[in-house]
A and B are shown apart, each in its own frame.
Chain A
C-alpha cells in the first residue's frame, strides 16, 4: 500500500514546526541554568547579596522560559509514536534506549530540582541550594547529551543491524551508539550554542538596564559574567562546529556537498564557495565567489582527499539502489520462507543498502522490478534542497563569527570597566538578542532538512516512517499545535517583557543589599 503523500508532508511539517518551536526554549534553558550556577557560586564564595539577587532575578526569567521548554518537549517524545509509528517500530530497539535513559538520568534530575530551586531559598543552606542549582544545570546538560545521542544515531547509524525476523533494526553495540563521534560532536556544539544563547540573553538585557540607567551594579556584574562565559562559548561553538562539519564530511557526504552547493567533484583540495546561488534544476551554482583550497582543507583536513560533488554522489546512489533492490528481493523471499539460506546471504551482503531500495517505494510497490527511470528518480531524491542548505548554513556561520566579535568587545569593555560609556555597544548588544536563536534554528535546519530524504541516514527514507493515520487526524493535530503554540508564544512574550521591564529594582524593592537581603523587602507586585 502506497502512503499518501499528504500524510507524509503534513507529518513532516508538524514535526519540523514543533521541533523548531521547542528549540526556541531549549538553548536558553541550557545556557541560563549554567549561568545561574556560576552566579550562585560567586554568591556562595563572596556572600554578597547582589549575587543572590542576580541568581534570583535571572532565575525568574529562566522559570518563565523553562515552563515552555517542558511543555513543548513532551510533544516531541509523543510524536514519534503518534505520527512516526513505523519509524518507532523500525528503530525503537536502538533509538528508544537513549530517550528512556534521558528520562531516568536527566529529566528526573531537572524536574525534581527545579521545584526546590525556586521554593528552597529559605529552606536550604546556601551550600545545599548551590548544589541544587548545579544539579539543575547538570540535568539539562544530560538531557541534551542523550537526545543528541539519539539524534546522532539518526545522522550516523552505528551499532545496529537489520533483523528480518522482526523487520527492524536491532542493537548489537551500545558502546558505539553512545560514543558515536557524530553524536559527541553534535552534543558539544549544541551545548556551547546553548551557552552562547544564555550569555547573549543576559548580556542584551543587562545592556537594556544600563541604557535605561537602572540596576547599574546588577547589570554590570551580569554583563561581566555573560561576556566571559559568552566569549569562551562562542569560540567553542565555532571550533566544535568545525569538528561537527568535518565528521559530516566523513559520514554524510551528500549533506556537505549540498551545504557547499558543489555539484561536481573538484581536483583536491576543493575550493570553498563563500557566496553563490545554487540552482537545483540546472545542477549548477551561479554567481559564485570562491576561496581556493579552503573546503578541501576543512572537510577532509588533507590536500589529497577529494570532496565529492553532488553528481558523483547521485551516481553512487544509483549503484546502492540496485544493491538495495537485491536486498529487498531477498527480504520478500525470506518473509515467505524464513529458512531460505540463499536469500539470507543475499540480504546480508546488501544489508547496508536496503534503505536505498526502499527509496523506490514511493514510486512503485514492485521495488524488485523498478526500471532505470525510477532508479534515476530515486537517486536524485537523495539530494536535499541545496539552496536552503547553502544559505541557512551561511547564516548560522555568520552569526557564529559575529558572536565571537561581540563577546570579545564586551569582554574587553567589561575588563576595562568601560561598559557604561559605550552606548553604541550597548545598543548593538541589545539588538543582537535574537541572533543566537536564529543561528540555532538554522543549525537544526541544516542538520535535519539536510538529512532528507532520510529519517535515519541511508537506512530509512522519511516517507517510510510515518503512521498510516488518516490525513484528517494530522490536519487536526497540526491546527491544534498551531493554535496552542501561537497563544502560548504570545503569553510567554508578554510575561517575559513584563518581568524584564519590572527588573530586579522593582521586583526586589527596595534594593537592600545589606546583610539580610529579603527581610526588609516590601511586597509591591505579586499581590493576590
Chain B
C-alpha cells in the first residue's frame, strides 16, 4: 500500500491536473463564449461560434464537476472551507456557468425569434465572462488566504474579513484568468472556423496573449514584493492524521517565492506559462492555429501550475487564524479513500481521455455557413 505522504503528494498533483484539464478544455468554451459578441456579426456567424463548442462543452464541463467531486473525496476540508467561505462568488459561478450556460447553448437556436436569440446571446456571454473572472478572483483570494478558523470540533467559522473578496489583487487575478481563457478560446475558434470569424478570433487571441504575459508578470512581481504569503515553521507530520490544528504557520511578504529558491527547478513552471503565451502569440501571428492552440494550452498549464508550486504545501491558507490553514499534509482524506480514488482515476481517466479524443476526431473539421444552414435534424445550436 502506498504510504500517506506519497498519496497526499499524488493527490496534490491530481488536483492540479483536474484544474488544468478543466481550464484547457472548458476554458476554450468559456473563452469562445466571451468572444461571441466580438467575433460574430450576424446570426449565422453567432451560430457558427456556438456550434464549434456545441458538441463538446458538456463533456468539457465535467472536468469541473469531477474537480469538485475529487476535492470533496480527497480534500474534504478544502471542499468544505472553500465552497462555504466563498459562498456568494460560488453562487454566482453556479448561476452563470452551471445553470444558465448549459441552457443557453441548447435553447438559443430552438426558436427563430430574434428577441429570444438576443436574450440568449447575453446569457451565453455572461456565462463565459463572469465565470472566467470569478475563477481567477477565487484563486487570487486563495493566494492571500481566506478568513476562517476551525473550533476544536473542526467546525468552520468565518471571521469578519478586513479585505473583501473583490480586492485589487483578486481582481488582477480575475483579469489574468479572463485574458488567459479568451486567448485559448480564440485559438480554438481559429481552428474550427473560417475567415472572417477566424481572423477576428486570431486578433483577439493575440491581444489576450499579450495581456496575459503582462498580467502574469505583474502578478508575479506583486506576489514577490508586496503580497503576504505563508510559511510552515513546525508541527508537520506528512504521515499523520488529517487534523489541521497541530502545526505552526507564519505569514510574511514574499513567502510564496520561497519554493523557487529552495528548488530552482520549479522556476520552469512559470517559465512554461510565459513561453506558452509567447508561442501562442507568435504562431497565431503566422497563422498556425493548431500549434497556437497547443501553446496556449501549455501556457494555461504553466499559469495554473505556478499557483500550485508557489503555495506548496499550502492548499488553502487562513488569513486570520494561521494554524487553521490547510496543507497537503493535514487536509486530506484517509489513506484508504485516497488509495481507492487513485485506483479509480488510474482505471477511468485513460478511458475518458481515449473516448474524448475519439469524439474530437469525429468532430474534426471546420464549422461554416453550410453546416449551419443545412442542419436538417434540428440539432445544431
With a CB–CB cut-off of 8 A, which chain B residues contact A113?
355, 359
The size of the chain B interface, using a CB distance under 8 A, is: 83
Beyond A108-B62, A166-B241, A469-B87, is A525–B107 a contact (Cβ under 8 Å)? Answer: no
Beyond A67-B107, A85-B80, is A101–B344 a contact (Cβ under 8 Å)? Answer: yes
Bitwise, A375-387 to B at CB < 8 A (1) or not (0) is: 0000000000000
Q: B100-139: which have CB < 8 Å to A?
A: 100-103, 105-107, 109-112
Bitwise, A90-125 to B at CB < 8 A (1) or not (0) is: 001111110111111101110111111011110110
A-B contact count (CB 8 A): 279
Shortest C-beta distance, A136 to chain B (Å), equals 11
Q: In the complex, A95→B341 CA distance in Å?
A: 12
With a CB–CB cut-off of 8 A, which chain A residues contact B239?
none
Residue among A56, A81, A168 with the highest chain B CB neighbour number at 10 A: A81
Quick check: A488 and B44 within 8 Å, CB to CB?
no
With a CB–CB cut-off of 8 A, which chain B residues contact A78?
68, 83, 90, 94, 98
A467: Cβ under 8 A from any B Cβ? yes
A454: Cβ under 8 A from any B Cβ? no
Q: In the complex, A85→B326 CA distance in Å?
A: 15
B91: Cβ under 8 A from any A Cβ? yes
With a CB–CB cut-off of 8 A, which chain B residues contact A82?
83-84, 87, 90-91
Q: In the complex, A167→B243 CA distance in Å?
A: 8
With a CB–CB cut-off of 8 A, which chain A residues contact B84?
81-83, 85, 467-469
Shortest C-beta distance, A118 to chain B (Å), equals 4
Query: Chain A binding site: helix, strand, loop or mixed by DSSP?
Result: helix
Quick check: B243 and A104 within 8 Å, CB to CB?
no
Quick check: B103 and A68 within 8 Å, CB to CB?
yes
In the complex, the chain B residue whose C-beta lies closest to that of A499 is B110
Bitwise, B67-88 to A at CB < 8 A (1) or not (0) is: 0111111101101111110011
Shortest C-beta distance, A23 to chain B (Å), equals 16
A371: Cβ under 8 A from any B Cβ? no
Quick check: B344 and A468 within 8 Å, CB to CB?
no
B162: Cβ under 8 A from any A Cβ? no
Beyond A99-B72, A111-B58, is A92–B333 a contact (Cβ under 8 Å)? Answer: yes
Bitwise, A223-245 to B at CB < 8 A (1) or not (0) is: 00000000000000000000000
B198: Cβ under 8 A from any A Cβ? no
With a CB–CB cut-off of 8 A, which chain B residues contact A499?
110
With a CB–CB cut-off of 8 A, which chain B residues contact A477?
87-88, 91
Quick check: A92 and B348 within 8 Å, CB to CB?
no
With a CB–CB cut-off of 8 A, which chain A residues contact B372?
528
The segment from B184-192, B291-299, B314-322, B373-381 that touches chain A is B373-381
Shortest C-beta distance, A9 to chain B (Å), equals 17
Partner-B contacts on A (CB < 8 A): 1, 56, 59-60, 63-64, 67-68, 70-72, 74-75, 77-78, 80-83, 85-86, 88-89, 92-97, 99-105, 107-109, 111-116, 118-121, 123-124, 163, 165-168, 170-172, 174, 335, 467-469, 473, 476-477, 480, 484, 488, 491-492, 495, 498-499, 507-508, 518, 521, 523, 525-528
Partner-A contacts on B (CB < 8 A): 43-44, 47, 54-62, 65-66, 68-74, 76-77, 79-84, 87-88, 90-91, 94-95, 98-103, 105-107, 109-112, 151-158, 241-243, 333-334, 336-337, 340-341, 344-345, 348-349, 352, 355-356, 359, 362-363, 372-373, 375-380
Of all A-B residue pairs in the complex, the 9 with the closest CB atoms, nearest first, are: A92-B76, A81-B83, A96-B73, A115-B55, A103-B66, A96-B72, A112-B59, A100-B69, A85-B84
Beyond A88-B76, A104-B349, A507-B378, 20 additional contacts (C-beta under 8 Å) are A64-B106, A67-B103, A81-B68, A81-B83, A81-B84, A83-B84, A85-B80, A88-B79, A93-B76, A101-B69, A108-B352, A115-B59, A118-B377, A119-B379, A119-B380, A121-B377, A171-B334, A467-B87, A476-B88, A491-B103
